[in-house]
Amino acid sequence: MSRGRSLLRGTAAAAAVQFVPSVVALGQWTPLRALPGGWCTWRGPDAPRVALTFDDGPDPRTTPRVLDRLDGLGFVATFFVLGSRVRAHPELVDEIAGRGHEIAVHGDHHDHHLARSPRWVFHDLDAALDALAACGHRPRWYRPPYGQATAATVLAPRRRGLGLALWSAWGREWTATDAGTVAGRVTSQLRPGAIVLLHDSDEFSPPGSTGRVLGALEPIRAHLERLALAPVTLSELVPAA
C-alpha cells in the first residue's frame, strides 16, 4: 500500500512538472512582458514599435495573398511556420524571407502540447528545425501551437538556442464574422512593444479566416499610424532572444 501511494505521489509530481507551466500562457492577459531570464516573451520593450506575426503557414492558397498585402502596406512581419508545411512548400519559405520577413518556427505538427509527452515535444521541434535547415533557414524564435506551454515546451527551444514567444494582441479571426471585428480586437490591444498574433492559413481555422485578416490589415495600419507605432520583425522588436 505504501509503495502504491509513493507511485501515485510520483506520478502526480511528474504531471505537475509537465502541466503546471502551461499557466505561463496567462501572460498574454497581464502587463507581464517576459519571464525573468527570457524564458518566455509576450511583449517587447516599451518603444514605438510592434511585431506582426503570422502562424500556421506556409500555405500556397493564402500566404502569397498575405505577402502581397503586407508589401502593399509597407509592413514587415514574422512568420511562424510549420515544419510539415515547409517540407511541402519550401519555395514559399524562401519567398517569405526574400520579401524581407522573418522566419520563425511553429513546430512540425499543429498538435496540442498538453496532450503530448515531453519526448514528443522535443522531437517535434527538432523535425521542424531540420525542415528549415534543409531550406537554409535558422530561426531565432519558437511559438507552440495554440500557445500551450508545458515544461517541455519551455525547455525544448531553450536547449536549441531559441526564444519562446507568445503574444499580447490577437485578432481571433476564427471566431469573427468580418474583418472589422478582427481589426477592432487587434487595435484595442495595441501598445508599444505589442506582439500581434494573426494567421496566414485556414488549415486549422474555418474557411475565410485569412480573408478576414487580409481585410483587417488596412485599418490596423491606420491605427498604427495614429499611435506612431512602426511594424518590425520580432527580432527587431526583441533583439536578444
Please give the positions annotated as active site: 55, 199
Contacts with 191 (C-beta within 8 Å, 6 or more apart), sequence order = 43, 168, 169
User: How far apart, in whole angstroms, are the C-alpha atoms of residue 28 and residue 161?
Assistant: 23
Nearest CA among 90, 107, 95 for reference residue 204: 107
Spell out the residues 6+ positions from residue 89 whose beta carbon is closer than 8 angstroms to its own.
58, 59, 60
CA distances from 100 to 62, 66, 103 (A): 18, 13, 10
Helix axes 151-159, 2-19, angle to 10 degrees: 60
